Amino acid sequence: MRVTGGKVKGTHLKTLPRHSIRPTTSVVRQAIFSLLDNSTANWGHVLDLYAGSGALGIEALSRRAVWVDFVDYRKSCCDIIRTNLEKIGELHRAHIYCCSVNKAIGFLENNYDIIFLDPPYSDPSVDTVLINLAKSKLLKESSTVVVCHANRFPLDSDYDGLHLVRQRRYGDTFIFIYQKEV
């Protein structure tokens, strides 16, 4: 897997074996960042939930994010994120939290401009995570939440002030972009 844009475009990222995680394809990552380029002005602080290899957060760092927090509960993924950040020379602009997404939502105190939510497709808790995220202090006015999701578990168009503004489909991957109400 390679970074698709920005200052480290083309850099090969380390991933876990395919049976362990489902990395977001380069086509989907390019589509996400194209949508964000056209709709999101501020990229200062980014949160990458269910980070896996860290590809989405690393793409954000490569393009224009100032800081990225990565969250994944698997130590193997946290180790790979660290390796990938060291490879691109950006470990100083990130923090890795090796814990569950719900735990991180409960203790993180930053306000984020962009939050990536890329859970395993078989995870039925996406709706609950969005509810918790919408009620959390992690969002500020105009925060953007990007959800990569299979359509197995339907998502609402509104979550407590978090509104669906765009939806796209790429194969079996759906991209939902929510924005916090201004």
Report the distance separating Cα 103 and Cα 101, nearest Å. Answer: 5
Q: What does DSSP say about strands 112-117 and 45-49: parallel, antiparallel, or unpaired?
A: parallel
CATH 3.40.50.2300 for domain 26-180: no
Would you mind telling me the total number of residues written for the chain in this entry? 182
Name the residue ranges covered by the structural domains of the chain.
26-180
pLDDT band (50, 70, 90) for residue 141: confident
Q: Which residue has the higher pLDDT, 14 or 1?
A: 14
Express each pLDDT in 72-87 by its tens digit: 999 999 999 999 999 9
**Torsion (CA) 75, 127, 108, 39 in degrees, nearest 10:** 110
Q: Return the structure tokens found at 50.
A: 């269910």
Beta strands in 56-93 (DSSP E): 67-71
Type of residue found at 80: I
- Using pLDDT thresholds of 50, 70 and 90, give the confidence band for residue 18: low
